[in-house]
């Protein structure tokens, strides 16, 4: 991996124009890594454009340079594409079309399901976040300032579930400790990222929480959502944060009907169950304890298929 860091820093230093992107359904790690990369490239006097398929959720607009993010692009000539926190180029949504026209794709990611779609691939599933990997790149390039630090801290903070998931390591804490030398305020980040609900959102969440379903062993808990609330930000994590309070449950699932016969399925798990394997069985992927997929069927049959697969899969583990 040492060589890959060098290869990437050489490529960055020798190139002029950059396209930066991340996965659809933007969140802290995707945006944090994009904006940190942007600030890093600007420090090196490079031309860089952040182009995303999805709009930036308002809760992340406190991040530096977030106003410069584009959702449409007229130019298409770039030396390098920096694709961040993205397991597969198709996860970049409509930006994928641009990637085929770029001379060199640098893929920096921590998803265990990464397909190594880049020309240079820096993939470390042991890292808590794409931001944690980028921190190491900054460290090697000897570039850091308060803007980069704020972006990286935010990505690490959100992808570790406020430093509570199993991906939080000594290394994670070493890095965030170093980032705090640049004036990062954890309180400010927490307030921006977590003060997001309106009363109608809490009512919507309340309805979901009061209709949770369980399997007979009560180790699997899931919610089915017929109409996903159209908010400025994704309520998925908020709902999971309530479901996580359940004692003894090992797998949490959200089934969301996005359109007719199109169901988004998100998985979260305690360490005993690898939900990346579950998501992969259904054509998706992610991490061992957080993953997702999209299934083309109706809500009832998605629910039946997924829950029965997890029952068989967890039985095999016993
Ligand atoms: Mn991530």
- The percent of residues in the chain predicted with pLDDT above 70, rounded, is 99
- Among residues 159, 194, 229, the one where a domain terminates is 194
User: How confident is residue 75, by pLDDT bands cut at 50, 70 and 90?
Assistant: confident
Its domain, for residue 6, covers 2-194
Q: Are residues 7 and 98 in the same domain?
A: yes
Query: 263 C-alpha vs ligand 1 centroid, how far in Å?
Result: 22
In the listed set 194, 225, 250, which residue is the last one of a domain according to the structure?
194
pLDDT above 70 (res 236) = yes
**pLDDT digits 0-9 by tens, 193-226:** 988 888 999 999 999 999 999 999 999 999 999 9
Average pLDDT, the chain: 95
Cα(31) to ligand 1 centroid in Å equals 10
Other Cβ atoms closer than 10 A to 262: 14
Question: What number of H helices and E strands is found in the chain?
Answer: 11, 11
Residue 184's CB: how many other CB atoms inside 10 A?
A: 19
Q: 135 CA to middle of ligand 1, Å?
A: 13
Same domain, residue pair 215 and 176? no
Cα–Cα distance, 310 to 303 (Å, whole number):
11
Say how many Å lie between the CA of residue 101 and the centre of ligand 1: 25
Is beta strand 220-225 parallel, antiparallel or unpaired with respect to 213-214? antiparallel
Dig out the tokens for 312 from the structure.
């068989």
Helices (H), the chain: 2-14, 28-43, 96-99, 130-141, 146-159, 170-179, 186-194, 199-209, 236-243, 275-281, 299-317
CA-angle at 198, arms to 196 and 204, nearest 5°: 105
Render pLDDT for 89-98 as a digit per residue (tens, 0 to 9). 999 999 999 9
For 29-49, how does the pLDDT look when each residue is reduced to its tens digit (9 = 90+)? Answer: 999 999 999 999 999 999 999
Strand, helix or coil for residue 259: strand
Question: How far is the C-alpha of 135 from the C-alpha of 37, rounded, in Å?
Answer: 10
Q: How many angstroms separate the alpha carbon of residue 132 from the centre of ligand 1?
A: 9
Q: Say yes or no: 38 and 186 in one domain.
A: yes
Same domain, 249 and 172: no
Same-domain check for residues 18 and 165:
yes
- Scored b (16 or more CB within 10 A) or e, 131-167 reads bbbbbbbbeebebbeebbbbbbbbbbbbbbbeeebeb
**pLDDT surpasses 70 at 318:** no
| CATH (domain of 294) | 3.10.310.30
* Residue 169 shares a structural domain with residue 236: no
For residue 262, the CA-to-ligand 1 centroid distance in Å is 24
Sheet holding 80-84, edge to edge: 47-50, 17-22, 80-84, 104-109, 120-123
Cα–ligand 1 centroid distance for 131 (angstroms): 8
Q: How far is the CA of 50 from the centre of ligand 1 (A)?
A: 17
Q: Which of 160, 194, 228 lies at the terminal end of a domain, its last residue?
A: 194
Q: Bridge-partner residues for 84, per DSSP?
A: 22, 108
169 CA to centre of ligand 1 in angstroms:
15
Cα 128 to ligand 1 centroid, rounded to whole Å: 7
25 Cα–ligand 1 center, Å: 11
Same domain, 36 and 146: yes
Contact indicator for 52, 72 with CB cutoff of 8 Å: no
Q: How much distance in Å is there from the Cα of 48 to the middle of ligand 1?
A: 21
Distance 217 CA to ligand 1 centre (A): 31
Q: Is the pLDDT of residue 16 over 80?
A: yes
Of the pLDDT bands very low, low, confident and very high (cuts 50, 70, 90), residue 76 is confident
Total number of domains constituting the chain:
2
Bridge-partner residues for 213, per DSSP? 222
Note the pTM of the prediction, 2 decimals: 0.88
Distance 303 CA to ligand 1 centre (A): 26
168/214 same-domain check: no
Label residue 306 exposed, middle or buried (CB < 10 Å: 0-12, 13-18, 19+): buried
The answer on 260 and 218 residing in a single domain is yes
Q: Which residue has the tokens 């060589």?
A: 3
216 alpha carbon – ligand 1 mean position (Å): 33
Pair 132, 242 in one domain: no
- Averaged over 42-67, what is the pLDDT? 96
- Residue 4 CA to ligand 1 centre (angstroms): 19
Residues 79 and 226 in one domain: no
> How far does residue 165's CA lie from ligand 1's centre (Å)?
13
Taking a C-beta distance cutoff of 8 angstroms, is the pair 145, 139 a contact?
no
20 three-class SS: strand
pLDDT at 74: 86
> Above 90 in pLDDT, residue 316?
no
CATH code, 24: 3.90.1640.10
């Amino acid at each position: 991996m040492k060589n890959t860091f060098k290869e990437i820093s050489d490529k960055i230093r020798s190139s002029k124009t950059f396209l930066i992107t991340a996965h659809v359904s933007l969140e802290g790690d995707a945006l944090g890594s994009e904006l940190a990369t942007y600030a890093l490239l600007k420090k090196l006097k490079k031309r860089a454009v952040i182009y995303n398929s999805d709009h930036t959720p308002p809760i992340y607009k406190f991040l530096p340079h977030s106003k410069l993010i584009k959702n449409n692009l007229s130019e298409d000539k770039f030396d390098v594409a920096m694709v961040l926190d993205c397991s597969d180029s198709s996860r970049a949504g409509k930006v994928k079309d641009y990637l085929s026209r770029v001379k060199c794709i640098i893929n920096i990611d921590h998803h265990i399901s990464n397909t190594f779609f880049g020309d240079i691939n820096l993939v470390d599933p042991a890292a808590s976040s794409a931001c944690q990997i980028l921190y190491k790149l900054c460290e090697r390039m000897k570039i850091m300032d308060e803007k980069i630090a704020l972006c990286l801290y935010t990505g690490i903070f959100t992808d570790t579930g406020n430093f509570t998931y199993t991906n939080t390591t000594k290394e994670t804490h070493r890095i965030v400790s170093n980032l705090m030398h640049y004036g990062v305020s954890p309180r400010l980040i927490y307030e921006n990222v977590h003060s997001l609900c309106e009363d109608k959102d809490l009512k919507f969440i309340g309805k979901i929480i009061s209709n949770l379903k369980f399997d007979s062993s009560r180790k699997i808990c899931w919610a089915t959502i017929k109409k996903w609330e159209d908010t400025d930000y994704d309520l998925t994590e908020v709902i999971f944060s309530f479901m996580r309070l359940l004692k003894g449950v090992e797998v949490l699932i959200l089934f969301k009907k996005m359109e007719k016969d199109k169901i988004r399925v998100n998985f979260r798990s305690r360490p005993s169950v690898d939900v990346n394997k579950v998501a992969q069985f259904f054509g998706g992927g992610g991490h061992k304890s957080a993953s997702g997929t999209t299934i083309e069927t109706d809500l009832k049959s998605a629910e039946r298929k997924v829950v029965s697969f997890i029952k068989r899969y967890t039985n095999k583990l016993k």
